[in-house]
């Protein structure tokens, strides 16, 4: 049974359940255009301190993207959305077109991705070997920290933290069904339903997708392998999420499945048109939150369990004459408890601790019938303690100080502090000075895995990062917000893969990234909103140049984003957005390929609201059909092409 057939069964069940219900309709167009800039700046976030605060008071550089913002752009995947955030750059891997999300020019593996506060990262593959992002239909909002987050979230939060909050994590009411069709034979259907049943709040979202992908033409030029073909990156995806909550507790369950997934090119850069891989990821979480647990105490607790399974299906075409049948499975258990104490005047003190156990319980690799070990079936255990105090000195001054200690069974302990001062300089200007340390533990892929492209190093040390930031938020007028952020990050012991091929992982010398982020939001009229951002960064890349490390020098020194939303008629909205990527000069003298120049990629979406129930939209991605490409290994002389112009249409119905 394919994903669309499974969706059909689930759709019939939920439709039957929801027939007596009636949606509590909110007009998304009005929600987007009528919210003042003051209200947007006052939007509550928890990602900066694990305590609700407005974005303007949060002791971090925080971006919040709402479901209404996402819908207006016509985005279909969370990856489309993240490219609008200052400092975030998206690249693609030639293997399975896996997206790599970089924050402030750091390596993508230093970005922590989370869903409802739970890390997506596994022991071997990071966000998963076949990760392709997440469908936007199930997203309530996205919270982004640009800067270190290890003092709260532990490993991998060195350059940034991205928390995707799903609709099932909140209070859902009513039902919505939607269909999207478009280029690359893309078919997408989704269903959402929320209700109250005997005092229980229940929410369910289902999203099913099948697509052939954009099938780019790629040239491979290896010494013994020279071909130009179209790479097949199609896949089927199913995303199911359920929540049940009452009073102070909530249970979340989710299942993500990818089938019929094609990888295009293998890790060793050989065309692979035979693989039909699969991935299954299932999670269960119990969450408890009670702000009035005691006279001055609040209590938060959570227990989570997740299992992920990956299979190459009928095998990877590893290299000419070699087929690799590979399977791995991993489980993760975590528990955390924390308490917020407010009995100390002008202080909000949070203390807590937790435990994480990750276990690779199955791993097999068979090349042409010969068994081999990819990574050992082993585990990683981590216990941690953290403390954080928000001290309100006055109406204008607030200091946040905190630290977290993690102890890993396989490489010892690490201590990561943070300090932030928030000064409401005037009624219109807020100034933030922040400093923090973060780390990333070596992955099992880097420690143990033998692939067609890399070899492991069990002696690797954790990466560390020390960052200092200065941020200004100026409400220039009722209709204009301006932000400026300066950052300086020093990364120690970065782990990189070094030539000759197959590359081996090593720790190399420290390097520094510094930069500036500028943002503006202007409500030009009641029906027109304009916004944009510009990021300028500079990195000391001497050691990466010497070792020809693509992951670190493939980030442009400058990029920008522009967006306009215009409600030109009642019930109509037109969105136009564009991403500009600056030049990406070569850092390695041995790279003889042409330099990747700058380019603009524009998207546009027209949306119409018919009554309170129907909604229609049409989108064009890459409006001007720009031939945009991203850096890749030198075996691919013309780089990796991004999708050319594509067209999508969608219909939503609320009932």
How confident is the model over 265-279, as a mean pLDDT?
A: 90
Q: Residues near 407 by Cβ (< 8 Å), separated by ≥ 6?
A: 382, 383, 384, 413
Q: In percent, how much of the chain has pLDDT > 70?
A: 89
Taking Cα atoms as reference points, which of 374, 349, 372, 347 lies closest to residue 360?
374
Q: Give dist(CA 437, CA 435) in Å, integer.
A: 7
Task: Look at 632 and 560; give whichever has higher pLDDT.
Answer: 560
For residue 572, the model assigns a pLDDT of 97
Strand-pair category, 370-372 with 347-367? antiparallel
Q: Give dist(CA 110, CA 89) in Å, integer.
A: 13
What is the residue-wise DSSP string for 227-296?
EEEE----EEEEEEEEEEEETTEEEEEEEEEEEEE--EE-TTS-EESS--EEEEEEEEEEEEEETTSSSS
The yes-or-no verdict on residue 520 having pLDDT over 90 is yes
Work out the pLDDT band at 485, boundaries 50, 70, 90.
very high
Highest CATH level, class, for 3-654: mainly beta
Which of 393-402, 528-537, 579-588 has the least mean pLDDT? 579-588
Domain boundaries, the chain: 3-654
How confident is the model over 321-346, as a mean pLDDT?
A: 94
Q: Residues near 448 by Cβ (< 8 Å), separated by ≥ 6?
A: 375, 376, 456, 458
The yes-or-no verdict on residue 293 having pLDDT over 50 is yes
Taking Cα atoms as reference points, which of 576, 563, 634, 569 lies closest to residue 605?
576
User: With contact defined as beta carbons under 8 Å apart, do 580 and 569 qualify?
Assistant: no
The three-state secondary structure class of 564 is strand
For residue 36, the model assigns a pLDDT of 52
Q: What is the pLDDT of residues 127-178, one digit of tens each?
A: 888 889 999 999 999 999 999 988 889 888 889 999 999 998 777 888 999 9
For residue 128, the model assigns a pLDDT of 81
Which ranges in 418-541 belong to alpha helices (H)?
Answer: 444-448
First vs last C-alpha separation in the chain: 28
User: With contact defined as beta carbons under 8 Å apart, do 480 and 524 qualify?
Assistant: no
For residue 652, the model assigns a pLDDT of 97
The yes-or-no verdict on residue 430 having pLDDT over 50 is yes
For residue 15, the model assigns a pLDDT of 45
Residue 81, φ and ψ in degrees, nearest 5? -75, -40
Q: Give dist(CA 333, CA 354) in Å, integer.
A: 11
Task: State both tokens at 258.
Answer: 């990818």
In this structure, how many other beta carbons lie within 10 angstroms of the beta carbon of residue 369?
A: 7
The DSSP output letter for 493 is: S
For residue 420, the model assigns a pLDDT of 96
What is the residue-wise DSSP string for 334-372?
EEEEEEEE--STTEEEEEEEEEEEEEEEEEEEEETTEEE
The yes-or-no verdict on residue 418 having pLDDT over 50 is yes
The yes-or-no verdict on residue 499 having pLDDT over 90 is no
For residue 547, the model assigns a pLDDT of 56
């Amino acid at each position: 049974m394919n994903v669309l057939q499974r969706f059909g069964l689930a759709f019939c069940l939920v439709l039957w359940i929801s027939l007596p219900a009636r949606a509590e309709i909110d007009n998304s167009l009005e929600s987007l255009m009528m919210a003042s800039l003051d209200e947007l700046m006052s939007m509550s976030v928890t990602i900066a301190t694990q305590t609700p605060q407005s974005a303007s008071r949060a002791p971090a550089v925080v971006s919040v993207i709402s479901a209404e913002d996402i819908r207006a752009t016509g985005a279909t995947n969370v990856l489309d959305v993240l490219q609008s955030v200052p400092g975030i750059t998206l690249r693609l891997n030639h293997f399975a077109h896996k997206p790599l999300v970089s924050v402030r020019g750091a390596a993508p593996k230093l970005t922590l991705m989370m869903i409802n506060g739970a890390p997506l990262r596994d022991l071997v593959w990071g966000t998963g070997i076949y990760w392709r992002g997440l469908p936007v239909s199930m997203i309530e909002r996205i919270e982004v920290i640009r800067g270190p987050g290890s003092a709260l979230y532990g490993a991998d939060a060195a350059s940034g933290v991205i928390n995707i909050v799903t609709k099932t994590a909140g209070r859902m009411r009513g039902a919505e069904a939607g269909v999207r069709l478009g280029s690359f034979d893309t078919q997408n259907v989704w269903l959402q339903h929320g209700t109250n049943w005997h005092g229980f709040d229940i929410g369910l979202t289902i999203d099913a997708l099948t697509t052939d992908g954009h099938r780019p033409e790629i040239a491979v030029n290896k010494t013994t392998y020279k071909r130009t073909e179209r790479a097949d990156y199609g896949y089927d995806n199913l995303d199911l999420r359920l929540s049940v909550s009452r009073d102070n507790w909530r249970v979340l369950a989710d299942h993500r499945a990818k089938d019929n997934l094609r990888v295009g090119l293998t890790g060793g850069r050989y065309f692979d048109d035979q693989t039909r891989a699969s991935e299954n990821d299932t999670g269960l979480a119990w969450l408890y939150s009670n702000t009035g647990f005691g006279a001055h105490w609040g209590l938060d607790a959570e227990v989570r369990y997740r299992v992920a399974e990956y299979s190459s299906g009928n095998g990877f075409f590893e290299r000419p004459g070699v087929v690799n049948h590979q399977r791995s499975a991993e489980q993760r258990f975590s528990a955390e408890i924390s308490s917020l104490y407010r009995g100390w005047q002008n202080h909000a003190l949070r203390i807590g601790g937790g435990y994480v156990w990750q276990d690779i319980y199955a791993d097999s690799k068979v090349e042409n019938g010969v068994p081999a070990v990819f990574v050992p079936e082993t585990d990683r255990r981590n216990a941690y303690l953290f403390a954080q105090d928000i001290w309100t000195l006055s109406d204008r001054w607030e200091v946040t100080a905190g630290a977290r200690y993690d102890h890993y069974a396989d490489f010892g302990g690490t201590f990561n502090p943070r300090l932030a001062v928030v000064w409401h300089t005037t009624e219109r200007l807020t100034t933030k000075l922040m400093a923090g340390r973060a780390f990333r533990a070596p992955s099992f892929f880097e420690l143990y895995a033998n692939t067609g492209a890399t070899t492991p190093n069990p002696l690797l040390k954790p990466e560390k990062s020390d960052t200092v930031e200065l941020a200004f938020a100026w409400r220039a007028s009722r209709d204009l917000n301006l932000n400026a952020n300066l950052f300086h990050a020093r990364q120690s012991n970065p782990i990189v893969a070094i030539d000759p091929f197959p590359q081996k992982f090593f720790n190399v010398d420290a390097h520094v990234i510094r930069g500036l982020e500028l943002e503006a939001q202007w409500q030009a009229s009641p029906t027109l909103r304009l916004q944009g951002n510009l990021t300028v960064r500079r990195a000391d890349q001497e050691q990466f140049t010497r070792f020809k490390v693509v992951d670190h020098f493939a980030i442009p020194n400058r990029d920008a984003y522009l967006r306009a939303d215009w409600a030109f008629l009642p019930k109509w909205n037109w969105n136009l957005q564009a991403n500009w990527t600056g030049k990406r000069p070569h850092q390695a003298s041995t790279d003889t390929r042409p330099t990747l120049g700058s380019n603009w990629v524009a998207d546009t979406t027209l949306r119409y609201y018919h009554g309170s129930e129907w909604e229609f939209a049409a989108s064009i991605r890459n409006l001007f059909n720009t031939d945009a490409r991203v850096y890749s290994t030198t075996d691919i002389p013309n780089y990796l092409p991004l999708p050319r112009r594509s067209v999508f249409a969608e219909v939503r119905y609320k009932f």
